[in-house]
Amino acid sequence: MDEKKEELKITASLVWSPIGFYQQIFIWLFTLSIPAVVNIVYILNPANKAGLFDWLLRVKALFNLNHFIIYVLWGLIGGAVLSFLFLLLTWLITGISGETAHERLNRNDELIPRSPAQKRWAVLINLSASFVEEILFRAYLFMALINVWNHWIWAAVLVSAIFAFVHTNIQQLSATIWIFITSFFLCLFTIKLQGLAFPWGMHLSVNLMNLFIFPKLSERLFNER
């Protein structure tokens, strides 16, 4: 029984591999099919499906290529700043919980890419995953919920709660609050900048910081290994 559980455990060799890449292909096919299906439903009954057309317009508006590279670069910087703030808060929390900072930052050591091949796959997969998640959560879901309430904040809170919940199986419950806060900022910049470039850069930066920078940084800063 224990051996079976060990086989099912998510590890770096499983996630950062061709299997992880094939999973991304499947997610992209699913993601691209959603607006196609919605568009067909609208065309078949435009009189009663005006809301679907409005949703499609809101989603389409987010794929704004104006200053795309600049916003992505600023997003990368913003993600790095946010990540270091989380690092500082984590260090402060350890003083209360009694847990070492290194332990808290490296609870998911098994997901950190070790070999050169795993690192290459990790970069490639995160380039894809961060963008497709922005489309699914910030474009599709956020734009669908934003008109339900009289302010975008409530839609952002719900999207962020769902986003955090989806990631708990990999990131563990201890990181849920940070994921929620990050998602809220991603929603904020999506609505304020009316585009996905900055949120994508920020999302990608946070992922890469947690995979490549913080594990080594925690060892040097906290000297616990």
Is the Cα torsion angle 66, 69, 70, 75 positive or negative in sign? Answer: positive
pLDDT at position 7 is 47
Confidence of residue 223 (pLDDT cuts 50, 70, 90): low
Q: Is the pLDDT of residue 41 over 80?
A: yes
| Domain with 123 in it | 2-222
Q: Degrees (nearest 5) of the Cα angle 36, 41, 45?
A: 145
Confidence of residue 1 (pLDDT cuts 50, 70, 90): very low
Residue pair 140/149 in contact by the 8 Å Cβ criterion:
no
Distance CA 211, CA 207 (A): 6
Q: Is the pLDDT of residue 6 over 50?
A: no
More confident residue, 112 or 204: 204
In 134-195, alpha helices (H):
142-145, 152-171, 176-193
Mean of pLDDT values over 89-116: 70
Question: What's the total number of domains in the chain?
Answer: 1
Residue pair 90/215 in contact by the 8 Å Cβ criterion:
no
How many angstroms separate the Cα of 26 from the Cα of each of 10, 20, 21, 172? 19, 10, 9, 24
Distance CA 55, CA 36 (A): 13
Distance CA 167, CA 175 (A): 9
Coil, strand or helix at 101: helix
How many angstroms separate the Cα of 54 from the Cα of each of 33, 42, 188? 18, 10, 20
Whether the model pTM is above 0.85: yes
Backbone angles phi, psi at 49, to 5 degrees: -120, 35
More confident residue, 136 or 111: 136
91: tokens are 């260090």
pLDDT, tens digit, for every residue of 162-203? 999 988 765 555 678 889 999 999 999 999 999 999 999 999
Distance CA 98, CA 109 (A): 20
N- to C-terminal Cα distance for the chain?
A: 32
Q: Is the pLDDT of residue 144 over 80?
A: yes
Distance CA 183, CA 206 (A): 11
pLDDT at position 205 is 97
Residue pair 205/80 in contact by the 8 Å Cβ criterion:
yes
Mean of pLDDT values over 141-156: 93
Count Cβ atoms below 10 Å from residue 130 Cβ, excluding itself. Answer: 22
